[in-house]
A and B are shown apart, each in its own frame.
Chain A
Amino acid sequence: MSADTAIRPRRNSLRPAWEEKPTLIGQFGKGTILTLVVAAVLIPLWTVLVTSLSSEKTINEAGGYVFIPREFNPAAYVVIFSGGQVTDAILVSTFVTIVGTALSLVVTVLAAYGLSRPGTLWHRSILFYFLLTFLIYPGMIPSYLVVTGLGLKDNLLALILPTAISAFNLVVLRAFFMSIPGELYDSARIDGAGELRILWRIVLPLSKAVTAVVGLFYAVGYWNAFFNAILYIDRNDLQPVQRVLQQFILAGQSPTSSGTAVAIPGLGSTMPPSLAIKMAVVVVTIVPALIVYPFIQRHFTKGVIIGAVKG
């Protein structure tokens, strides 16, 4: 079975001769369930998008959320992109995502390559060192003490370094690198290429797809980072986008975040943002996932994720 068929439920869309004709009730039931499932995902996203593009007047007429689009009013987006906390947050998250992903990819690719040839010195011990992270977790409080002890409080590196390496991604990449025929390495070495050169010129071009997927998973992780920001970032202008989303949508619901040493920075002191602006912030946090998603999905078929799941 090739990796290509692995993800598709069935390759052949023709109903085999031995299978019964579908019953009407069965067809109807399946159709209803699938429609409901798809609607459950799409309706919230649709509502958010339409409301974010509505004017104050339309929102008031609808009594809140707008479901049927009546206009295209980008005013909310103009507001959030013209400076202030949301703009800061978008810049912070973009920075963290780009720098973090680059760092994670470089470090993970190097280590995966370094481990891709069994029989090299200390190979098994180093592999064990990485795999042990699946079993032993750092624990929140010692992590907090280490990161703050390094002076990373209110430093964007605190959102990058602690989550920079995923042993899972490393193992996925390593498995792929190991599947590259050894003759390629040998011939390059005979031609006098060093390890870095082999990695850059031979291995990486052959593993573009899997590297891209690993990079995108890292990027999604950085963009979605939320809790480390609660722990390590107090300054208002350094908050990532997920924190702003939480303050806009959820903090209104839980006015007392007291009891937490990390108080939620004072957004509430200013005028509450209008519904359209809130929804525009939601859209902004979704959009990167939407952009990245088709790329990740295209590589599903290459068996990257299935291979990973099978270990």
Chain B
Amino acid sequence: MSAPLVAAEPQAAVKKAKSISRQRLSFGQRLRRDWPLLLMCLPAMLLLLVFHYIPALGNIIAFQDYNPFVGDDPLEAFLYSEWIGFGNFEYLFKNAAFWDSVINTLSITAFQLVFYFPIPIFLAMLLNSIMSPRIRSLVQSVVYLPHFFSWVLVVSLFQMMIGGAGLLAQTLRHAGYTPPDMMTNPETFMFLITSQALWKDAGWGMIVFLAALVAIDTSLYEAAAADGAGRWRRMWHITLPGLRSVIILLLILRLGDALNVGFEQFVLQREMVGREAAEVVDTYVYYQGIAVQQWGVGAAAGLFKAVVGILLIVGANKLAHRFGEQGIYSKS
């Protein structure tokens, strides 16, 4: 990001000499110069320390038989709780419900890679082919909106539209049909959550692809058309290759995030469709840890997910570099 200043010759221009001198200041001089900036970073750092890093370190209760009642506060309880090594993990890995939640999570990720991931690309290409700027901006305004809604609101709206007493059921009953059960059926749960995710974020997901589409050089299309390529061939040979790097990047990011399928969406609907279909790793952590108060086991599940998550991100990033893409972080 910042070009190193060492390359400049000290005797070059006065200005450059000044910026060089920055590097040569002693620690005390730099501290005297920069302390206001450091002070400005401090509140944010403290907040993250208390609410992000200390809880991250606190994951080591996964190796304890954590019992909140052996102390007056969580810290004391942590100090007095018994260390049990990998006991919680042993319990976890023998627990069928945990593996169910892992399998559910991975199936949802796989399902959404097929039925969610391509939709924003398709929508962006469709919208990009519309000539009228008014229609384009109207559609954009409408489909970006649900991104700003909470999951509670999205699930509630689905409940009101296609739920047992919803608008659709009401209309069907009026017409003399029996409405299908869509909000509480475990067998169709995968479709339900994917449509909710699409409703909420497919429009928002277009943004990246729209930007990539604009970046494609129009003269490519013109040259291809002059050579007799029809609209489908132009799409195949120009548009899709133009989107390639964005698609690969997002795909890899999604793979790195395979154990994250969202939490609130599932916690809200777990009771409606049952644990078998709706338990994901995050909800397992919540119900094991906080609701059933098996703190150590819940923390172990959380730690397992965090470690696998880091491995997946690092691995996905390696994969990105192999594809010649930038990845999430570069090799700095």
| Choice from B123, B214, B310 contacting A37 with Cβ under 8 Å | B123
Q: Which B residues are CB-close (under 8 A) to A250?
A: 152, 155-156, 159, 268, 272
* Residue in chain A with minimal CB distance to B75: A149
Q: Which A residues are CB-close (under 8 A) to B199?
A: 40-41
User: Is the C-beta of B211 less than 8 angstroms from some C-beta in chain A?
Assistant: yes
Known interface pairs A30-B129, A111-B40, A141-B302. Does A146 touch B271 (Cβ–Cβ under 8 Å)? no
User: Is the C-beta of A68 less than 8 angstroms from some C-beta in chain B?
Assistant: no
User: Is the C-beta of A120 less than 8 angstroms from some C-beta in chain B?
Assistant: yes
User: Is the C-beta of A181 less than 8 angstroms from some C-beta in chain B?
Assistant: no
Q: Chain B interface secondary structure, helix, strand, loop or mixed?
A: helix
Binds B, one of A42-50, A81-89, A204-212: A42-50
Query: In the complex, A16→B219 CA distance in Å?
Result: 11
Are B44 and A130 in contact (CB-based, < 8 A)?
yes
Known interface pairs A44-B160, A143-B51. Does A8 touch B152 (Cβ–Cβ under 8 Å)? no
Are A18 and B44 in contact (CB-based, < 8 A)?
no
The smallest beta-carbon distance between B252 and chain A, in angstroms, is 14
Query: In the complex, A118→B3 CA distance in Å?
Result: 9
Are B160 and A47 in contact (CB-based, < 8 A)?
yes
* Residue in chain B with minimal CB distance to A170: B44
Interface size on A, residues (CB 8 A): 111
Are B230 and A107 in contact (CB-based, < 8 A)?
no
* Residue in chain A with minimal CB distance to B295: A141
Query: In the complex, A108→B68 CA distance in Å?
Result: 34
> Among residues 135 to 191 in chain A, which have CB atoms less than 8 Å away from a CB atom of chain B?
135-150, 161-162, 164-165, 167, 170
User: Is the C-beta of A267 less than 8 angstroms from some C-beta in chain B?
Assistant: no
Are B285 and A20 in contact (CB-based, < 8 A)?
no
Are B272 and A111 in contact (CB-based, < 8 A)?
no
Query: In the complex, A276→B71 CA distance in Å?
Result: 49
> Among residues 197 to 244 in chain B, which have CB atoms less than 8 Å away from a CB atom of chain A?
199, 203, 207-208, 210-211, 213-215, 218, 221-222, 225-226, 230-231
User: Is the C-beta of B8 less than 8 angstroms from some C-beta in chain A?
Assistant: no
User: Is the C-beta of A25 less than 8 angstroms from some C-beta in chain B?
Assistant: no
* Residue in chain A with minimal CB distance to B78: A145
Instruction: Give 10 A-B pairs besides A19-B225, A40-B199, A141-B299 with Cβ atoms closer than 8 angstroms.
Output: A7-B211, A13-B131, A18-B226, A34-B126, A44-B161, A106-B43, A133-B48, A142-B55, A242-B150, A249-B156
